[in-house]
Amino acid sequence: SPQGRSKKKSRKHQRFMERRAVLEQKGLLSPHGRLGSQTTESALETHTTFTKANGITTPRCDEVPKPKQIVSASLSPSASPDSIARHHSVLLSQGNGSSKRVRTSSLALRPGKYVAIDCEMVGTGPQGRLSELARCSVVNYEGDVIYDKYVRPELPIVDYRTRWSGITKQHMKNAIPFTAAQAEILKILKDKIVVGHAIHHDFQALKYFHPKDRTRDTSQSHVLKKRAGLPLRANVSLKNLARHLLHKKIQVGCKGHSSVEDAQTAMELYRLVEVQWEKELAHSLPPRPPSPVTDPAADSSQYLDDQYWPTDLMASSL
């Protein structure tokens, strides 16, 4: 009869409303009655499974698959420093193995202003005790290589130091002269914030000194040492920092270091603690007056003058 059909339809609608209420409470169904592009009724049929107990069919919402959490590529400009730092860490952890690249974050302050550098040196002079540039690699904020060339030292090579440098006689066949490489590299470094590990060795090989407020040395970073659980006064290697903080192995094998890999690792470490590092520097460094030292057109011989070298380096060399 029409009345019986109406009662049956009413009971069916009541059960439907009860199932919808349960799903809405669990956040699996929007209050507007839609889940994705499906209608409410079809969504309930698709995302709700049933079990029979004592002949009664009951909804089991606990089996509905939970949506995967997706890390946003950007954060709100009002995000706290801690949440920003965690965001950097999550982005870095999403790479694949040792070949992962640093991901771009929209929160970075002018990413084009950041580069990381690493140089490999060979021995020249008496008994090969002088260190001269033989390879230089520069990567950008994302870890992409923007410069990587072998360099012919000004003096004859006595010790290739292949075990550490990875440089062999074969590499010198197509190497460019030091003066040419120096001009190219200084042009890249001009007005940049330069990241590196024990970076004064790289600058010394380039016969150059970069402004302190634009230098980020991962070997001297208190933020990185704290995060790795290492003493603040300890001399920490790039290899150990990468193992503790990035959970990856670098500088393995007997073929020497890769200056590209080392530069990329230094940039990854910097970006891991970028927010805290920059916050500390903002409170510790005084404003820097304009300096002609960053001008690659200037005479490179001036970079050897005592006034441009740190006092601690001068004292250690005496």
Please give the model's pTM, rounded to 2 decimal places: 0.58
Domain contains 313: no
Q: CATH number, domain at 206?
A: 3.30.420.10
Distance CA 133, CA 303 (A): 15
Alpha helices of the chain — where are they, by DSSP H? 2-25, 40-47, 81-93, 162-165, 178-189, 199-205, 222-228, 238-241, 259-272, 274-284, 311-317
Q: What is the pLDDT of residues 146-190, one digit of tens each?
A: 999 999 999 999 999 998 899 999 999 999 999 999 999 999 999
Domain contains 266: yes
Domain contains 107: no
Domain contains 28: no
Domain contains 274: yes
Domain contains 220: yes
- With beta carbons less than 8 A apart as the criterion, state whether 118 and 238 touch: no
Count of the separate structural domains present in the chain: 1
> Would strands 157-159 and 215-217 be described as parallel, antiparallel, or unpaired?
unpaired
Domain contains 129: yes
Q: What is the pLDDT of residue 49?
A: 43
Looking at the predicted structure, is the pLDDT value of residue 134 above 80? yes
Q: What is the pLDDT of residues 12-46, one digit of tens each?
A: 777 778 878 877 776 666 665 444 444 444 444 44
Strand pairing partners for 52? 57
Range of the domain at 140: 114-283
Looking at the predicted structure, is the pLDDT value of residue 61 above 60? no
Domain contains 5: no
Alpha helices of 65-117 — where are they, by DSSP H? 81-93
Distance CA 32, CA 24 (A): 10
Q: Which two tokens stand for residue 286?
A: 């005084």
Least confident of 37-41, 117-121, 265-269: 37-41
